[in-house]
Amino acid sequence: MTATRLGIIMYGATGRIGVNQHLANSLDVLRRSQLKTSNGRLVELDLILVGRDPQKLAEVAAAHGISRWTTDLDSALADESNQIFFDCAATNLRYGLLEKAIRAGKHVYCEKPLAERPEEAVRLANLATQRGVKHGVVMANLWLPGLVKLQRLLKADYFGKVLSVRGEFGYWIFEGDWQLGQRPSWNYRAEDGGGIILDMLCHWHYMLAQLFGPITQVHCMKSTQIQNRWDEQGRLYRATAEDTAFVTGLIEDKVPVQINVSWATRVRRDDLLTIHIDGTHGSAVVGARDCFIQPRTLTPKPVWNPDSQAARNYFADWSPVPDNQTFENAFKAQWQAFIDHVVTGVAFPWDFFMGAEGVQLAATCHTSAEEKRLCVVPRVARPADHSTTQGCTAG
């Protein structure tokens, strides 16, 4: 069987997430395997790395046995053998890069957020649809083992009526003076597209919309807890973007939701990411890999008594959901789904419109925090014949 060749432009592949998740753990694995689409077609991936630093490009290409790399994006886009453009560079560059790639007729796939502002994200979604190119945004958390297990529980109607959803994400990011920070310095500069709301609320949008329904109302408080940080060259700079946000709201105007995100918190919970769901028939606590449940038949009856040491280990009252399957790397799983979409046309709900919804949620949270009020999250208009994102599954 003759393989379908698929040329993929990787822009920004020399950064941490580009090298580790998208290249080493995803595309490099797929191109070295016998990649087949859902209808059995063989696909051969041919990567070209594009960026601004020739030394880094050459090093990454050599490390992964990739023969093609360039600093000339225009030439890569002009090459008709390259069908897909992928961007995982800095957020503030994304809109211009994606618009250029769409106008060059490339299918487009990118890291989130899709854009800095919702009107830009919607413009890109409409442009890609009008030009007839396929489009997608990385929403890899949906393929994490913990969230796949949660989807199993939802399919089995484990919760009964869902009463509330609480999400926590965050950890301590070192300031950069006596220990290097774990995130790039631009994350803390609003002028460079930084800020935890745009970065993290796009994640929370697709996770909650996929699992429970979209957030329709929000009240948000935000703050910059760490004012002074040091960049990669050890230079002191003033943080201008928020590093912490507390969000409350409603899912589909009925289920209370609470989301706390912070790069200035020390972790004492099951994982860096946790989602706690309470339902009439049972509860669950979900992390990136694990999922613990407590059904109503096994729910203990605590009695409040602050005058004595608690004798019960409340963590022991929860049972782990078994793996019951082999889990792929989450980024690789979504890459394979997008490649299948490009080659065969099979449905891919995690598109630019869903990405625009995440940007809209982030923008609404900013409005709520700045105006100190509850805000309704505006809906993102889709073409009449465009499939909805609700009801799709990543598991």
Taking only the tens place, the pLDDT of each residue in 289-330 is 999 999 999 999 988 888 887 778 899 999 999 999 999 999
| Separation of first and last alpha carbons in the chain | 29
Cross-strand bridge partners of residue 7: 46, 82
Q: What is the predicted pLDDT for the residue at 302?
A: 87
191-228 pLDDT tens trace: 998 999 999 999 999 999 999 999 999 999 999 999 99
Fold of 4-141+330-351: Rossmann fold (3.40.50)
According to CATH, where is 3.40.50.720 located in the chain?
A: 4-141+330-351
pLDDT value at residue 347? 96
Are the C-beta atoms of 129 and 236 separated by less than 8 Å?
A: no
Q: What share of the chain is helix, strand, coil (3-state, %, to 5)?
A: 35, 25, 40
d(CA 203, CA 200): 5
What is the CA angle 202-158-289, rounded to 5?
A: 50
Spans of the chain below 70 pLDDT: 1, 385-395
Find the length of the chain. Answer: 395
Out of 3.40.50.1860, 3.30.360.10, 2.40.50.320, 3.40.50.2020, select the CATH number for domain 142-320. Answer: 3.30.360.10
* Residue range(s) in the chain whose domain bears CATH number 3.30.360.10: 142-320
pLDDT of residue 165: 98
C-beta of residue 190 within 8 angstroms of C-beta of residue 291: no
- How is residue 15 annotated by DSSP? S
> Would you say 139 and 209 are in contact if contact means Cβ atoms under 8 Å apart?
no
Question: What's the pTM?
Answer: 0.93
Give the pLDDT score at 356. 98
